[in-house]
Structure 1
Amino acid sequence: MNQTTQQILSIKDAIESRHSIRKFVQKPISKSDIDRIFELVRLTPSAWNLQPWKFHVVTDKELKNKLQEAAYGQQQVTSAPAVILVTSDMENILANLSDTVHPGITPERKQEEVANLSSIFGGMSVEERGQWGLTQTNITLGFLLITIQGFGYSSVPMLGFDQEKVKEILGLPEHIKFAAMVPFGLPDTEGYPHHRFELDKIVTYY
């Protein structure tokens, strides 16, 4: 029985057991496990179904060393067997809007949808589109963290890195936005106990 089948967790258990982990077991993650994770993560909802996210999975040791340097030497980058760069690329989406429209609608309706979206986003600057796409990509980041945990792995989301240097290392276009760098693998340490606000501090009923 493989790693995935043995350790699938319920959503409740995945959320309750998730901690940020910075030291990982030195064991590669199979591509089939990574594919299973992304098969679920790709179902993340987004406004107008635009799905502006891209995932760059780094397992190469030399590249991880470079990413660690770009992340100011943080050890979890090279400790983890895999590192995911979660990015948003709205310029790619804008160039391929017809791909985002549901295939079940009529050609005429599809043409209207593409024209409407082109008008909305064409009136924005590249920076404005990038920030809009990032708000959607942050949704998929949450899905990714819980899915990784659900399959028996651990992770840590990071924004403490030189984004321009990472773009250069991976050959990514200048306009993309980063939601996070996510090292992940089997945990080799325990995370800190949860310290979260009580409901009365974060929930308001009307």
Structure 2
Amino acid sequence: MAIQTTQKVLSVKDAIESRHSIRRFVQEPLPKEDLNQIFELVRLAPSAWNLQPWRFHVVTDSDLKEKLQEAAYGQQQVTSAPAVILAISDMEDVLANLTETVHPGLPDDRKQQEVANLSSIFGGMSVEERAQWGLTQTNIALGFLLLAIEGLGYSSVPMLGFDQEKVKELLDLPEHIKFASMVPFGRADAEGYEHHRLALDKTVTFH
């Protein structure tokens, strides 16, 4: 897939090494082609049973960003960024549309078996249990999102410090959804802190 973007494209290695959380952004609109390219990459994220429970709400409206900033306890990066992404998980929508996630190359009888199997598995869970399961998968897509943003020449800051019920109300989101993150992003107008990470021997064990 050819990448069409108005920004310089970084390698995966460079995107990982250069990514910092940025809280001040250049005040300029984001080209639609860059937004589309980011999500074309994110949609390739893997998920168990290919269920893809992530949904993304992109906010560029200034008035709505001000309301999101208020819900985020006044954090300035929300209105500084030209766009704010709400990454959510919606397993109830997934279950209502299971046939969309089954691979089209399967024979019809296999498709029906897959739908029946998944309906049985998740139907035996509570709404909350399904939601928590979906959130673990959505966090995979969140990682893809942060790297896609960085790789296409932009910067971001993932946040969970906000009133989730208020944001649900502002975006008219159903009660059952789970938030993976609020992600303001755009071109950086500040530098992030130097990386400070635990040593490998603290986080990695070889067996």
TM-score bracket, shorter-length normalisation: over 0.9
The aligned counterpart of 1:199 is 200
The match for 2:104 is 103
TM-score (norm 1): 0.98
Q: Which residue of 1 aligns with 2:95?
A: 94
CA contact (8 A) 1:4 1:152 kept: no
Per the alignment, do residues 130 and 6 of structure 1 end up closer, same or farther by CA in structure 2, a change over 3 Å counting?
A: closer
Deviations 1:94-130 (A, max 9, x none): 0111110000000000000000000000000000000
Taking a change above 3 Å as real, the CA distance of residues 168 and 89 of structure 1, as seen in their structure-2 partners, is same
The amino acid across from 2:39 in the alignment is F
User: What letter is aligned with 1:49?
Assistant: N
Distance in 2 (CA, whole Å) between partners of 1:201 and 1:162 is 33
Deviations 1:148-179 (CA, angstroms, capped at 9, x unpaired):
00000000000000000000000011100000
Aligned residues: 204
The Cα of 1:4 is off from its aligned counterpart by 3.0
> What is the match of residue 175 of structure 1?
176
Q: Which residue does 2:149 correspond to in 1?
A: 148
Taking only aligned residues, the RMSD between alpha carbons, in angstroms, comes to 0.9
Match of 1:43 in 2: 44
Please name the residue that 2:65 is paired with: 64
Quote the offset at 1:6 in angstroms: 4.1
SS of the aligned residue for 1:158 comes to coil
Identity fraction in percent: 78
TM-score when normalising by structure 2: 0.97
Q: Take 1:6 and 1:196, find their aligned partners in 2: how far apart are those partners?
A: 28
Structure 1 partner of 2:24:
23
Q: Secondary structure at the match of 1:83?
A: strand
Report the 3-state secondary structure (helix = DSSP H, G, I; strand = E; otherwise coil) of the residue aligned with 1:7. coil
Residue 11 of structure 1: aligned partner: 12
CA distance in 2: counterparts of 1:92 and 1:34, whole angstroms = 24
Distance in 2, Cα, partners of 1:6 & 1:163: 33
Q: Is the 8 A contact 2:59 2:85 kept in 1?
A: yes
Q: Is the 8 A contact 2:69 2:75 kept in 1?
A: yes
- Deviations 1:66-119, CA, capped at 9 Å, x for gaps: 000000000000000000000000000001111100000000000000000000
Unpaired runs of 5+ in structure 1?
none
Unaligned runs of 5+ in 2: none
SS at match of 2:5: helix
Q: 1:102 to 1:194 in 2, by over 3 A?
A: same
Q: 1:5 to 1:64 in 2, by over 3 A?
A: closer
Deviation at 1:7, TM superposition (A): 1.1
Shift of 1:5: 4.6
- The aligned counterpart of 1:114 is 115
CA deviations 1:36-74 (Å, max 9, x no partner) are 000000000000000000000000000000000000000
